[in-house]
Structure 1
């Protein structure tokens, strides 16, 4: 589809590849700040570069004149965006209460964020191997299962795998999809141990939780044993293992936790084998695990490590482990024929007029050089014979009788002419004429004699096209369609390198490759449906927007929609929609699946025979300098291209239509960029600090196969120091130890700890669970439902100006609806994901159980569930906990410019799905349509690039007082952060929360605000010294209660929803009654509940 606004510049593919490669290399070099392109670029090339670098945080400038003109690009420096001074204006009630707090509660001043050596809380579970390994029991598998195992390709490598594993400490097994390595290798080891009466303890990791469970279940089926005995699994907050379990499947993160802390030697002492599966996926945990394992192998020589990969990247891992041996296992794929963009453009009718013109010239040139296409006899015919054949075909066309074809048959049988002779002017063949006339017997005879049904006349119509145009669905068209499906397509027509370049240049200078060419995909699908044997079509697209656009275009352009069944497959779609793709379609109906990379490896559809690969994937990248994520459609790697093609050869020979050229394939990265090099490293750096002994975090991570950038490491360390998880010397603090133990992201863990301390535990627990699972809403399948989905969110959000509030209300509606069938109806009506809400519910229960098991939450009494939920319906204090966890993700609405800014963005936008943006548009106060919010401050979960701008999502509007108390580091030096205002009212001063957030406030209140903030932080530091035994004193409780009152008053003044439903989380389905029995009636205050506004 045409892009809106100014058209993007189009250039040839080879120049585009060259330019992108130079810019990528420039960006990767942290020391290079400027790069000059050569002088041989054209004006069009320079225009393309100017346009392209705008999305890369680069500047560009052209220099010189004429033949000496060249272009330079520069890296822009990152500096904090300035903004007008924010005002901290307080209600009279809040001002009075703050001064009372300052007067009534002194700070003890005895705690500092750097305090760390308390040793009261250092749990790191090593339950996976808490006892010595045992001898596994003998195999009890069923005979038919054993036979099935023997047929797997890996079975013939049984002996060599065991031998290599015995002789080497590290072994790599590279096996294609379907080889059986995941289920069989650990069983080989167990069965050998049982035969030799040797004890063994095997840990086998998988990158995804679902793989851990399914593989463990499959192995138990093959061994004919119950799950949790000899074979078990452990994932986050869920375990099916015993102390005597011989084979444990777990996630990479679980094993990583066992390697942290002081018990690593004890853990490895009881392990005989560690298997890291799917290591080629290069997720951040697997790369981190390899560093930790490599560091520990020399001191634990009895531990055998087996890395299993599905690609040829095995050499990279072999080199990392001192050239350890590699065993290659073949897969069970059928032959796959691959076609590239130049093949598609030449052999399939496309909508592109530029390509058609070039194609016509190429065909004329081929005819001039080699004779008429597809007619080997014609080249040897004299002019008189050619004229005779032209006359015979003309008679066949003019006369309404099949008898005219008999002369044609006679000449063909005497080998005077080819069966595919084309009329000199019209390019019609005898088969085309017979089809147009509807002569079924003649068509059948011509096909029996070998006539080519793929040939086209000068208007690019085949015999099948003529039959359909003249007679519709007739016996002739059915015969020809059957012939097309049983024969090979005309992709045998080969292009010279020059012809291919002409076609590709015509295509790329008219279409480009920045966006998906949905029309070309429809052309390919139509070709397959018209001319290929039965089989499903799997189309790989980058994201949901492309899937939806492709679906609508396909429905508009496919004439016989009842002959195709189109499915959309995306991770955010309803589970019921995803499951339907696996069901068979009726005979004669073509299945078409529009999918993202979720279909690359995670799932398999046996009826797929054809793959259409757009070559693009949406991938998340993180800019550590600006803390900005970007989700952009980028080129896949060569390894991914191989995986995608392999989807077509699961059950029979398949075909893959790659909508990128052979040149582009050669320019693709061999493998996907490792996750450790493109995601935030906060969690990894915290784990590194726990594991490292005598080296810095930076030096430890530099041991990775591909080390992350020094800038990314430095920024993550600064973040951890800012939130209090690390001290200035990179030592792990009390807070850092607790956050590392919690099975959630560090920022969510901190949020949860504040929820416990501030007695709003259940509400924060639910928000943490929801943010861990990701968006609980689904994307509507149809365009018309989008506005309905927005309305649902608006209604749930009330006047909260908060997406998290909306999520909580959605969860409440779902959990209050019974039975499950009605819950599903509710989800369908409100565009909610029933499966994700179920996951949220399960995670909430498991997190609660985990916090109880480590003693942070008690079941009864002080610190018990009822006690720590006293303020769970106070939405204002819940937002304070959100802000603590999400900081520094803060956005400011500047009043004079009416633009939203962050630390590094002069202008940022609210994501369209956010209720904050929806409410903003609904509550415009001025007629000039300027942006308006009840407070200037927003905290958000994520910031990401979208085109040339940035957006924030999962947003919550917070009061200036919340910013003053909860944002920033744990410790603020009053002498440094309290700044007198110059050239303004002497009665005011500034509070510098950090190097960007400044709040102007009355001088008499500034110290009271800082005093309250200091009291809050002291309570938290006291709490994390030992959360198991901590109890609020009467004084501490009074401080928390005053803080809750303050925040409630400020939100009320801003007309923000400040109360949650009083039944949030209480007595819900699936929650044990002994866990939740409090009456969440809040506390006495002089504010009306939410929904009641000032008059």
Structure 2
């Protein structure tokens, strides 16, 4: 495990914001290698920087003494870590079979994966590709539904949307939350086509599966139709469509598959409109989609493209599509009040004692001031400052430019004058002047800073009156109208700027903002329940763990008298479970929804009136140089903050409680960093290779609105070449085409293909399903249960030293329970997630059905499910399939230093949740030695991510050196290059097998050639299989090779005392041999695996 981290250093918010901004700019500059912080920082500030940079692949060092002491940070260089050569020890039985294979089975002369620009054997698994569009049926909606639709703001723009859509190939619609754009725009198009009797087929994409499903259902309700007729959806491995469907909601990834290779033209020929919704989220698929669509527009002029979002970067996207028109849809149906951290801390009762003490003093001072006669705001200002403020306001009035307000804001920031300063003669405020001039952004900024919209000048006119007199019904008047609706704010007390800073400093130096303050969220919820009218509460949290923690704390602190109904909403829930969130609750019950950013998008909950925004979102950041992922809760963008606030007030005026200050909001990025800039590009690069015609992958991705770094693209191309999906010329290989067709990540797809070829299909399919869903275990709610949870995992893992084996056993135990009630009871006892296991089961069956539908797995006969599970009991063979997919995720335990290393880390740690964690320490053969011990030096793992000063690996499996020699590395190994002869020893000639540029295995020369021969046989089989997996038939020779391979891997694991069989629970455990595998419960076709077990040969 990693060393224990220090107590988190907590500093003032403004200093923290400054430090973060400087470090972010430093990391973005590829040329800058060193950054010095000023000597004015305190010891505490420097301690914070030292701790903060641990997670940033940066080094820090302090220099100097006394007042001249300063701190510098440096970027760490990346270089491959060297390690001692591993001795490849082979069991006697293994060498016998290796020699038999070498002698009895010849290899082909060449070993290369073919590539081709076109793959005519690809089958189409995409919806409605070759079906011409039809004329939509007439609308048969109910009158009250039509009335509701007409009340939506977007209904006023019906004609202009249709007109602009007809005149332009690309159109941007920027509509605030609640405008109705997601459900109405596709209906406008469809209804217009029905009136004109014109065929149409509309594809409308959503960033998430739940959005695609719920929006499709909502549109069907509005049209009074059955889902799957005129309107349907398609998400991964699930669809509700007919040949006559006119409107299809799908995910971005689904549409992207339609634009691959030759299928693109065929698909676009039968599409009339493509709508990309929620473009502002900038996920990797939407950015990639825009490149693909832009490239295809000129050759398909009949296709109309509409981009939609609540907070779209209109100018950026318009410029990208040759200055296409933009339609702005006005604001929400009802005004929304926003309250920030300083308002919350000062006005509600909270648990934080440090803040309580400070607040008590501030309240006493405020009461003391209120007892004195009230003085005007200028009473404490000197004459010179008053004249200066007057002059600035006059300049703002005379100059016809919003830049005149810069000086005013500077004085406010320096606390020289109040935000509501009135000109001594006219009594005009800055807000009134900005309203009269029509400066919408200035008005918005002033209101956010707390400007009073109720103040009147000498003629008794407010800022709203000025906006209406000069500009009529404008954006400014709408903003001010919303502000005037806030005539009864829930928080009646306000603080001066100095008092606000004192209060915020007390909070941030006691709590900080690195983690979610769950107690404060409960305080806000209790305040709403006690003091605010009825209405649902939507709480935005970063991830599932925070949702679970918030739920537990809420349940422990809230009494039953409040009558709460709490829901959890996140993207990994099943579709049926998510639907319950949208159902109304009984009268007198308050709905509380704990959600991730999934609730920012098209999902609409009409009964939500209050939003509690943590300001955080969980995002993955990928370091392409070290292949390291860091998953962290980061601050959202200003656009997301607006989007979240917009979830309130759909049916009545709403309130948003932001758990971050106005200062922090101002420091947010304007928009979210595009996902294409911060995630692995392996899948995107493979898809780019399928789409591109005459340009390289790098050139194609450089067409993006914001192109990813050249380093990320280069590393992803190298990875795809390593796994055999691309050749040296960046052309797609046979394997690449098949992987692109599978609805799973490329590495998981490769595991599946090997599982089919090596006849251990079912356990590999199950592991792929589990890894697609993520961890099936839950974190214990009580600290006392953590040791019990670890014990459960250890028992499930047996002596396999594998987390994947543990997952399989857990699923098998769960599947044995024949009723949902028994399954839930088991989950409670074994700390398993029933919902995730159900999702795994569902995905497993859908993947199997998909493989059958495309012909890779046969429904019966040769190549059928029973046939390709012949060796499913051989866990050693299954590990080979795991390794071939997870490579290059390989870790090595050095014999002498007892430290674990990867290609780029000199020292890496095992994640605490892994079954290897305690076993590696407790199973040391020398009881006096507490160093790490494992039965083999090699571990393959699913993911490596940053944690504190070091990195951790999760989902780990110990593998033998022979497994590394056969399954790790590229498909093609040239014996003349990878076999390095060592100096002669007294008894034998040693050789090194260079599996890749990092892994070296030392073994006797005669064994080395036998091992390489076996490796070559296996990979030749795979290349033969992927040439056309739909027609591949396993010959008697190939079957004998696979059987012998399974035997030698069994012998190696037996020698290492590792579990090597996959017998079912209750089947008579025999860890060293094999046993009969019981019913594997195939839901898809009900097959039973009655294969004979492996028995080690003598």
Q: For residues 413-453 of structure 1, give each alpha carbon's deviation from its aligned partner in whole angstroms, at most 9, with x where no partner exists.
A: xxxxxxxxxxxxxxxxxxxxxxxxxxxxxxxxxxxxxxxxx
Alpha-carbon distance change, 909 to 722 in structure 1, aligned in 2, over 3 angstroms: same
Q: Output the CA distance in 2 between the equivalents of 1:374 and 1:573.
A: 57
Deviation per CA, 1:869-921: give whole Å up to 9, x if none: 21111111111001100111112222322222222222222223223335445
Per the alignment, residue 1085 of structure 2 pairs with 1072
Task: Using the TM superposition, name which of 60-69 and 582-591 deviates more.
Answer: 582-591
Counterparts of residues 69-468 of structure 1 (less than 5 Å):
70-113=70-113, 116=116, 119=119, 121-125=121-125, 127-330=127-330, 332-349=332-349, 355=355, 359=359, 362=362, 371-372=371-372
Separation in structure 2 between the aligned mates of residue 611 and residue 215 of structure 1, nearest angstrom: 22
Measured against aligned partners, the alpha-carbon deviations of 1:76-115 in whole angstroms (never above 9, x if no partner) come to 1111222232222111101121122122222212222465
Looking at structure 2, the residues matched to 321 and 1009 of structure 1 have their Cα atoms a distance apart, in angstroms, of: 56
Name the CA distance, whole Å, in 1 between partners of 2:75 and 2:100.
Answer: 52
**Partner residue in 2 for 1:836:** 836
The whole-number CA distance in structure 1 between the counterparts of 2:331 and 2:1077 is: 52
1:178-206 CA-to-partner distances (Å, cap 9, x unmatched) read 33222222121111111112121211222
Give me the whole-angstrom Cα distance separating, in 2, the residues matched to 1:1038 and 1:1071. 30
User: 2:959 maps to what in 1?
Assistant: 958
Matching of residue 975 in structure 1 with residue 976 in structure 2 = yes
Partner of 1:717: 717
Counterparts of residues 857-868 of structure 1 (less than 5 Å): 857-868=857-868
Q: Quote the Cα distance in structure 2 between the aligned partners of 1:242 and 1:527.
A: 50
Structure 2 residue 1086 is the aligned partner of structure 1 residue 1086: no
Distance 1:142 1:976, change over 3 A: same
Structure-2 change in CA distance of 1:551 and 1:192 (3 Å): closer
Cα separation, partners in 2 of 1:188 and 1:928, compared to 1, 3 Å: same
Where does residue 430 of structure 2 map in the other structure? none
Quote the offset at 1:66 in angstroms.
6.2
In structure 2, distance between residues paired with 1:288 and 1:372: 64
Q: Tell me, what secondary structure is at the counterpart of 2:708? A: coil
Deviations 1:466-518 (A, max 9, x none): xxxxxxxxxxxxxxxxxxxx996773333332332333334334443223344
Count of matched residue positions in the alignment of Structure 1 and Structure 2: 974
1:739 corresponds in structure 2 to 739
CA contact (8 A) 1:339 1:657 kept: yes
Q: Which moved more, 1:775-784 or 1:138-147?
A: 775-784
Tell me: CA distance 1:929–1:170, structure 2 relative to 1, closer, same or farther (3 Å): same
For 1:589-628, what aligned pairs fall within 5 Å after superposition?
Answer: 594-601=594-601, 608-628=608-628
Gaps of 5+ in 2: 380-485, 1065-1075
In 2: Cα distance, 1:117 partner to 1:108 partner: 25
Partner of 2:389 in structure 1?
none
CA distance in 2, matches of 1:548, 1:752: 33
Return the offset for 1:361: 5.8
Matches within 5 A, 1:1038-1077: 1038-1061=1040-1063, 1068=1081, 1070-1073=1083-1086, 1076=1087
Q: CA–CA distance in 2 between the matches of 1:4 and 1:528?
A: 39
CA distances 1:375-395 after superposition (whole Å, capped 9, x unpaired): 99xx9xxxxxxxxxxxxxxxx
State the partner residue of 2:938: 937
Match of 1:418 in 2: none
Which of 984, 987, 1008 is the aligned partner of 2:989? 987
Equivalent residue for 1:1003, pick from 995, 1002, 1005: 1005
Cα deviation, residue 843, structure 1: 2.6
* Whole-Å separation in 2 of the counterparts to 1:275 and 1:537: 31
Distance 1:1016 1:78, change over 3 A: same
C-alpha spacing 1:566/1:145, structure 2 compared with 1 (3 Å): closer
Q: Assess, with a 3 A threshold, how the Cα gap between structure 1 residues 995 and 222 changes in structure 2: closer, same or farther.
A: same
Structure 1 match to 2:1017:
1015
Q: 1:949 to 1:606 in 2, by over 3 A?
A: farther
Check if 1:13 corresponds to 2:13: yes
Contact kept? 2:858, 2:865, Cα under 8 Å? yes
Aligned residues of 2:211 and 2:603 also touching (Cα < 8 A) = no
Distance in 1 (alpha carbons) for counterparts of 2:820 and 2:519:
42
Larger mean Cα displacement after TM superposition, 546-555 or 630-639 = 546-555
Structure 1 CA distance, aligned partners of 2:306 and 2:40? 51
Rounded Cα–Cα distance in structure 2 between residues aligned with 1:851 and 1:191: 38
Measured against aligned partners, the alpha-carbon deviations of 1:126-154 in whole angstroms (never above 9, x if no partner) come to 65231332222222333333333333332
Q: Is the 8 A contact 2:118 2:262 kept in 1?
A: no
Q: 1:465: which partner in 2?
A: none
Q: Identify if the C-alpha distance between structure 1 residues 224 and 935 changes in structure 2 by more than 3 Å, giving closer, same or farther.
A: same
Alignment match, 2:877: 877
Q: Secondary structure at the match of 1:129?
A: coil
Give the Cα separation in 2 of the matches to 1:522 and 1:230: 45
Q: Mean Cα displacement is larger for which, 675-684 or 238-247? A: 238-247
In structure 2, the partner of 1:29 is 29
Counting only pairs closer than 5 Å after superposition, residues 853-932 of structure 1 correspond to structure 2 as 853-920=853-920, 923-925=923-925, 926-932=927-933
Could you say what secondary structure the match of 1:649 adopts? coil
Cα distance in 1 between the residues matched to 2:552 and 2:836: 27
**Could you tell me how far 1:125 is from its partner in structure 2?**
4.9
Give the 3 Å change call, closer, same or farther, for CA 548–271 of structure 1 in structure 2.
closer
Residues 948, 564 of structure 1: alpha-carbon distance in 2 compared, 3 angstrom cutoff: farther
Structure 1 Cα separation of the partners of residues 58 and 590 of structure 2: 47
The structural deviation recorded for 1:668 is 0.4
Question: What is the CA deviation profile of residues 28-62 of structure 1, one whole-angstrom value per residue up to 9, with x for unaligned ones?
Answer: 22233223334544444333323321221112234
Q: Specify every segment of 5 or more residues in structure 1 that has no aligned partner in the other structure, as ranges.
A: 380-485, 1088-1095
The secondary structure found in structure 1 opposite 2:491 is helix
Contact persistence 1:121–1:1025 (CA under 8 A)? no
Partner of 2:950: 949
Alignment correspondent of 2:403? none
TM-score by length of 2: 0.82
Matched with 1:727 is 727
- How has the CA–CA distance of structure 1 residues 920 and 47 changed in structure 2, closer, same or farther, with 3 Å as cutoff? closer
Q: State the distance in 2 between where 1:157 and 1:55 align.
A: 49
Residue 1000 of structure 1 and its aligned partner are, at CA, apart by 2.0
What is the TM-score with the length of structure 1 in the denominator? 0.83
Match of residue 645 from structure 1: 645
Q: Residues 1078 and 1089 of structure 2 are in contact (CA less than 8 Å); yes or no, is this contact kept in structure 1?
A: no
Residue 656 in structure 1 maps to residue 669 in structure 2:
no
Q: Taking structure 1 as reference, are residues 242 and 512 closer, same or farther at Cα in structure 2, changes over 3 Å only?
A: closer
Matched residues in 1 for 2:498 and 2:1048: separation?
A: 75
Cross-structure match for 2:568: 569
CA contact (8 A) 1:120 1:1026 kept: no
User: Residues 959 and 820 from structure 1, CA distance in 2 versus in 1: closer, same or farther, beyond 3 angstroms?
Assistant: same
Q: Which residue of 2 aligns with 1:390?
A: none
State the Cα distance separating 1:124 from its structure 2 match: 4.7
Indicate the residue corresponding to 2:693 in structure 1: 693
Larger Rg: 1
Pick closer, same or farther for the CA change 1:139–1:534 going to 2, 3 Å.
Answer: closer
Question: What secondary structure is seen at the aligned counterpart in 2 of 1:855?
Answer: coil
Hey, what's the Cα distance between the residues in 2 that align with 1:858 and 1:501? 69
Q: How does 1:660-699 map to 2 (within 5 A)?
A: 660-699=660-699
- Give, in whole Å, the separation in 2 of the partners of 1:212 and 1:276: 12
Corresponding residue for residue 459 of structure 2: none
Give per-residue Cα distances to partners, 1:829-869, cap 9 Å, x unaligned: 44433443333333323322332333322234433333322
Q: Which residue of 1 aligns with 2:413?
A: none
Rate the CA distance shift 1:248–1:869 in 2: closer, same or farther, 3 A.
same
